Structure 1
Amino acid sequence: MKPGSYTEARNSYTEKIDQVSTLEMVQMINREDIKVAEAVRPELPAIALAIDGIAARMQSGGRLIYIGAGTSGRLGILDASECPPTFSTPPELVIARIAGGKRAITNAVEGAEDDLEAGRREIEALEVNEKDSVVGIAASGHTPYVLGGMQEARHRGALVISLACNHPAPIEEHAEIVIAPLVGPEVVTGSTRLKAGTAQKLVLNMLSTGTMIRLGKTYSNLMVDVQMTNLKLRARGARIVAQACGISDAEARRLLEKCDNEVKTAIVSYLADIPAARARSRLTAVHGVIRKALSVKDL
């Protein structure tokens, strides 16, 4: 069992942070921030396990649901809100709930995080089932709202994952997969929007990005599910096709015109040397994964 690392502990290194120069102050903060990525490293096997579990359930029609309070809840909302523009996912595929509702995104809602039943009701209202994955986010690992949501999700058969910066912690008792980056005491005692928040952000980045990669939302490291809905995105789409196919931007734009501005279709059409209709058919057959579409035989 890993040693405990309590988010409310006092950091002896920064006890004089209010007495030093501003440069020394930010050097102290930076020195502590450097520890965050290393704290995440031991959790990589659990993170990978979570990604595989989430992706498998999404392939069966499931969703990824974040539930948290305060900073943890806001980080979940941030990650969920970035998935549609980055990976062209429907808004209901990756969603987040925060204690206190929408008002809590920008304002503290006193007592909301202590309402265990509110967490249960959130999961109930979402009609969570065994196809879904629920990530409970709580820096301390003790937040009742999150615990209530996780309990209900587990009862409903969902894959439940905990993300906390304490270990052991109550949040782990309701999780099938435990992720606990131990960042140590904060620069300002108890201010978990700092190192704990940064660690949670890193983990959430991995969970959503890794899941989307497993679902074929990228080809190599290119965001091939981009929807060309404005000038900037049309330029990005052409750039992606050019990079994937090793052709000029002008050639990529002409190719996209022939493929109804569908990036994936254009890439498969060019690399497999087949018409757009056949490329589209292949992609449909393999759930949009380009590498599979390049290797399958036409039906």
Structure 2
Amino acid sequence: MALPATEHLHPAATGLDTLPAAAVLGHLLAAQGAAVQVVAQVLPQIEAAAVMMADALRGDGRLVYAGAGSSALMAVADGLELGGTFGVSADRVLLLMAGGLPVDARMPGDTEDDADEGTRAAQVLRSGDVVIAVTASGATPYAVAVAKAARARGAKVIGIANAVGTKLFDHADVAICLATPPEVIAGSTRMGAGTAQKVALNMMSTLMGIRLGQVHDGMMVGLVADNEKLRGRAAAMVARIAGVEAGVAAKALDAAQGAVKPAVLIALGQAPEAALGLLSDTNGNLRAAIARGL
């Protein structure tokens, strides 16, 4: 049986273990850069995926990240960041990983072959959900089973893989093929393939956040400050956008219970209830709410 592209040997592999450290690191860095370059080939698909994700959150749908092994870790990392970055409620994000999410440094490899577990995990899915299934080979039984079951249950599927023409894409509404070069360490897809996955996932969720109105002039205004670092960041955003002093921004943020967007409107003179009303009327778009409140 032919090996998948992710298992092929890299041209720099021969004698790699005999090279000086600087040469090894140079090969590794070059391979990472080459992996990132392939993302530029799938920008239309990444845009389509981001639109699909935004539509799900505008409605009653959820974002469901699914995968096994290192690919699942890339997916889970993106899902876990959505709340802190874009204010996405935790109940709108599901994390499905073969064998369950790790609680220590052990991550068994055999769980990725359990297609039945993938099918069972997908039973929580429903119409309106969007599944982001990630697998380097595109043939991982768990990830493919989740995608197949998701489609059967009326959910949409975004498939991300590092190989052309894979099984995963047979069940994907949006197929993102990150055709990364062979790994310097053959089969170690936590490296180049994982880097390309991480970049694509970051771009998808960031464009989604922008389309949902959670970004204003490059600032994450969907943030709800719940620690000292975030309160400082949030207050600075409020002060900058509203054009007010730090003290005024801090008081507005208190009145908004740490939420940046209503705090900006409060700093601009709106009562808390009116600020929330403006945001509701503009589907959470701060720029539109500011314009309407002037």
* Partner Cα separation in structure 1 for residue 239 and residue 105 of structure 2: 41
Provide closer, same or farther for how the CA distance between residues 17 and 288 of structure 1 changes in structure 2, counting only shifts above 3 A.
same
User: 2:290 maps to which residue?
Assistant: 294
TM-score by length of 1: 0.91
| Identity within the alignment, % | 32
Q: Does residue 60 in structure 1 map to residue 59 in structure 2?
A: yes
AA in 1 matched with 2:68: A
AA in 1 matched with 2:54: A
Match for residue 165 of structure 1 among 162, 165, 176: 162
Spell out the pairing of 1:97-176 with structure 2 (5 A cutoff): 97-103=96-102, 106-124=105-123, 126=124, 128-176=125-173
User: 2:14 maps to which residue?
Assistant: 15
Q: Does residue 203 in structure 1 map to residue 195 in structure 2?
A: no
Match for residue 264 of structure 1 among 261, 266, 273: 261
* Partner Cα separation in structure 1 for residue 201 and residue 224 of structure 2: 23
Unaligned runs of 5+ in 2: none
Q: 1:105: Cα distance to partner?
A: 7.0
- What SS does the aligned partner of 1:95 have? strand
- What SS does the aligned partner of 1:28 have? helix
Q: 1:217: Cα distance to partner?
A: 1.6
Provide closer, same or farther for how the CA distance between residues 144 and 5 of structure 1 changes in structure 2, counting only shifts above 3 A.
closer
Paired residues of 2:162 and 2:177 also in contact (CA < 8 A): yes
Q: Does residue 80 in structure 1 map to residue 79 in structure 2?
A: yes
Paired residues of 1:74 and 1:105 also in contact (CA < 8 A): no
* Partner Cα separation in structure 2 for residue 169 and residue 39 of structure 1: 17
Paired residues of 2:65 and 2:133 also in contact (CA < 8 A): yes
User: 2:217 maps to which residue?
Assistant: 220
* Partner Cα separation in structure 2 for residue 212 and residue 106 of structure 1: 32
The count of corresponding residues between Structure 1 and Structure 2 is 292
- What SS does the aligned partner of 2:157 have? strand
* Partner Cα separation in structure 2 for residue 30 and residue 135 of structure 1: 28
- What SS does the aligned partner of 1:135 have? strand
TM-score by length of 2: 0.92
Paired residues of 1:163 and 1:180 also in contact (CA < 8 A): yes
Q: 1:260: Cα distance to partner?
A: 4.9
Paired residues of 2:66 and 2:96 also in contact (CA < 8 A): yes
Q: 1:270: Cα distance to partner?
A: 4.3
* Partner Cα separation in structure 2 for residue 238 and residue 140 of structure 1: 44
Q: 1:108: Cα distance to partner?
A: 2.5
User: 1:282 maps to which residue?
Assistant: 278
- What SS does the aligned partner of 1:253 have? helix
Q: 1:288: Cα distance to partner?
A: 1.8
- What SS does the aligned partner of 1:67 have? strand
Q: 1:149: Cα distance to partner?
A: 0.5
Paired residues of 1:5 and 1:167 also in contact (CA < 8 A): no
Structure 1 stretches of 4+ with a deviation exceeding 6 A read none
Q: 1:252: Cα distance to partner?
A: 1.8
* Partner Cα separation in structure 2 for residue 155 and residue 133 of structure 1: 13
* Partner Cα separation in structure 2 for residue 103 and residue 254 of structure 1: 41
Paired residues of 1:129 and 1:156 also in contact (CA < 8 A): yes
Q: 1:257: Cα distance to partner?
A: 4.3
AA in 1 matched with 2:277: S
Q: 1:104: Cα distance to partner?
A: 7.7
